[in-house]
Amino acid sequence: MATASKPIPMPKPQKPLPAPNSDFYELVETLPAEELAVVKQVRTFMETKVAPIITKYWIEDSFPFELLPALKELNLGGVGLQGYGCRGGSGLLAGLVAMEMARVDTSIATFFGVHCGLAMSSIYFGGSEEQKKKWLPPMARLEKIGCFGLTEPLVGSGASGGLTTTAKREGDTWIINGQKRWIGNSPWCDISIIWARDVADNQVKAFIVENKTTPGFKVEKMQNKIALKVVQNGQITMENCRIPEENRLQADNSFRDTAKVLRGTRYFVGWEATGCAMGAYENALKYAQERLQFGKPIGSFQLIQDLLAKMLGNITASQCLVVRMAQLEAEGKMTDAHAALSKAFCTAKCRETVAWAREVCGGNGIVADYNVGRFFADAEALYSYEGTYQMQNLILGKAITGLSAFV
Ligand SMILES: Cc1cc2nc3c(=O)[nH]c(=O)nc-3n(C[C@H](O)[C@H](O)[C@H](O)COP(=O)(O)OP(=O)(O)OC[C@H]3O[C@@H](n4cnc5c(N)ncnc54)[C@H](O)[C@@H]3O)c2cc1C
């Protein structure tokens, strides 16, 4: 007896998969239209100019000078700082710019953070009116690039307890001797903010050093880093460098003034860490949507979705934290302890997130070609620089207990 033939099932039309989006709670949308346009410009710059070339530079341990003209055109120098030729805008805008940069490449965000955050803010907070008028405009135009020299070969976390680099006043000149280590941008920049101990009163003072033309100032590029390889870090040696009194930051009198700069920049590392985690997550999610195992995209497996969900949870929590920090900063309420919690929490969550992203990509997570490996390595530097995780928790611990655990 003839049986009616079964209709052949037609393959279901594939629904397009959602594009990875790490701004799940739409925080960028909270910006006013004019500032939102700036963030979008940064995103386009990072995706079209930086993303295609950055892995090559990261592998080669070199800085992409070819990007500087386009970066200058973005007119972002001194974003979040007001006057003196700076870009201005809100603290939230400055944070989102850092996050957008780090989302594509954390080294570029760090280069920019060292220049605009550490170097320019040192002058902005510690400089006299004349110093701000002289140094900030060319730095805002990125014509003069700066670095920030605090850490030394033998003094890292203990910088507040005593720098070994000394400054001795002779008339209107200061004689600086000592070494600095890890100083980002220093192998090629124009202006170094050098923190040194005044031998007369033992207090920390800051000096603007024109490093290309100051006799006795030498920089050796640090080799063999495994993180933030695009940022050029240097070991600086200063032998009897003569710096005019007019280049000493006039409002800085002690390490408290250094800490004021670090308060702002540490909280910024929270934004960078959030961006780094976003970049790793988006790359890992795309990979999970495309990579097939057992005939299916790995993104369809429950255990992979669990990792992706936890990553997005970390990112969203960090984003909400740094956005609130921007509000506290705008209200003039941000304390060292607030900044410490932001830095410690966001970098720790970033470290966890990039490790999960690495895991999602399997073996391909440890080759630079898939981007995730780069975020994975770079997160290690964020976790330790500008004060390690432990130092942030000691600052926070002191504030919440009222008891200092510093040794
Ligand atoms: C990529 C990169 C870029 C950097 N860029 C700059 C820069 O531009 N300018 C600059 O000045 N510096 C820069 N640094 C230096 C950075 O700020 C220091 O590495 C950091 O402060 C830690 O100092 P350290 O490496 O000497 O570690 P150490 O201070 O030797 O610490 C080693 C370990 O001991 C722990 N530890 C230390 N003291 C205590 C304590 N009391 N209690 C508990 N644990 C403790 C630390 O948390 C850490 O885990 C950079 C570092 C890196 C890695």
- 19-77 pLDDT tens trace: 999 999 999 988 999 999 999 999 999 999 999 999 999 999 999 999 999 999 999 99
Q: How far is CA 388 from CA 14, 225, 339, 384, in A?
A: 47, 17, 13, 4
CA distance 264 to 335: 9
SS3 call for 291: coil
Of 348, 331, 343, the C-alpha closest to 268 is: 343
CA of 387 to the centre of ligand 1 (A): 6
Ligand 1 atom closest to residue 148's alpha carbon, by position in its atom list: 9
Judged against a pLDDT cut of 80, whether residue 339 lies above it is answered with yes
Best residue for ligand 1 mutational test, from 107, 185, 385, 394 (most atoms within 8 Å of Cβ): 385
Residue 204: per-residue pLDDT = 97
Give the residue whose CA is nearest to atom 23 of ligand 1.
156
Please provide residue 234's backbone torsions phi and psi, each rounded to the nearest 5 degrees. Answer: -135, 155
SS3 290: helix
- Cα–Cα distance for residue pair 138/160, rounded to 1 Å: 30
| Lowest model confidence (mean pLDDT) among 25-34, 111-120, 146-155, 235-244 | 25-34
Average pLDDT, the chain: 96
Q: What is the pLDDT of residues 312-323, one digit of tens each?
A: 999 999 999 999
pLDDT digits (tens, 9 = 90+) for 225-265: 999 999 999 999 999 999 999 999 999 999 999 999 999 89
Q: Is 62 within 8 Å of 111 (Cβ atoms)? A: no
Other CB atoms within a 10 A radius of the CB of residue 222 amount to 18
Residues with Cβ within 8 Å of residue 302, at least 6 apart in sequence: none
User: Cβ < 6 Å from ligand 1: which residues?
Assistant: 114, 147-151, 156-157, 182-184, 228, 233, 381, 384-388, 390-391, 407
Ligand 1 atom nearest the C-alpha of 158 is 29
Q: What does the radius of gyration of the chain's CA atoms come to, in whole angstroms?
A: 23
List phi, psi (to 5°) of 318: -65, -40
Under 8 Å between Cβ of 267 and 260: no
Rounded distance, CA 321 to CA 274, Å?
10
Closest ligand 1 atom to the C-alpha of 151? 11
Helix (H) or strand (E) segment spanning residue 247:
none
Please classify residue 13 by burial: count the beta carbons closer than 10 Å to its beta carbon, then call 0-12 exposed, 13-18 middle and 19+ buried: exposed
